[in-house]
A and B are shown apart, each in its own frame.
Chain A
Amino acid sequence: MLYLSDELAVRIRTHAAESYPHECCGAVLGSDSGSWREVLDLFPLVNRRDDSPRNRFVITPEDFRAAEQTARKGGLEVIGWYHSHPDHPARPSEYDREHAWPWYSYVIASVMQHLPKDMKSWRLKDDRTEFDEEEMEITPFGTINGGRVNAGEGDHPDRASALRGQARKR
């Protein structure tokens, strides 16, 4: 399960719409408990595929390192990457699969004729044969404890309930 605040979801969609008809890309920063992930920040990047930006993106090793350094400074880690699919659905292409890394959450935002549409998250299977869709919950409020996860919450049996409870207290 990937938890994403409404604000950060809007930021991805906005980046995707502003980049249309080109693909946008960026790093997804957050925490990984082992059983769920929480997105706590984004690190927008430049699509370096100058030759084919409408249907390809690339994040260079230098940009990769910059994203990791930014995450570490904030006490976070790079848990995934986002990119957009202009005029295509929010599901991975074969090219996405061929170039994917395991473990990361791949968030794909569909943009149709400038308008943001679906957004879904995917994880590559261990055997690299295909992606599994990762359940994603976009919460209409911030993240628990204002964006930091308490030690020991990693095995919380019902993360969504915990988040909703936190929201009611606000």
Chain B
Amino acid sequence: MSTDRIIQFELARLNVHLPERQITLKEALSSPAPHVVARDGSKHKFERGELEFLKEIVPPSDWDSLRLPILIVINPKLGRGAAEIAGRPEVEVVSSVLKKEARGDEMVIYRPEVAVLRAKLPTTTQYLFMVG
């Protein structure tokens, strides 16, 4: 395999863990075994404790609009170690976890904050690598 094909293969493999379809917090809470199916067909299970935590910090009116898993968008254009969170309910959750003020529907967080977020929500957050 040429190096180009190896690189293309690695880039294609970067996002195989992403779900085919995100589910809302409401759907996850009502499911006996909350999970999403990844692009490679495997299951990604959400921890009940995390869902309960999200239930406490998200107002009930947003349970329908908060889509899980929350995507931490890694875009090399933002610079090394920077990540982006998109969507109003998602930004509110992240700002509440990090105790950081949020403005608008998008938020940029940095590596130490990503570590805190992943430690707090290991199954309900996932990385998305911007390949295109």
Please indicate whether A and B come from the same complex rather than being unrelated chains: no
- A-binding residues in B (CB < 8 A): none
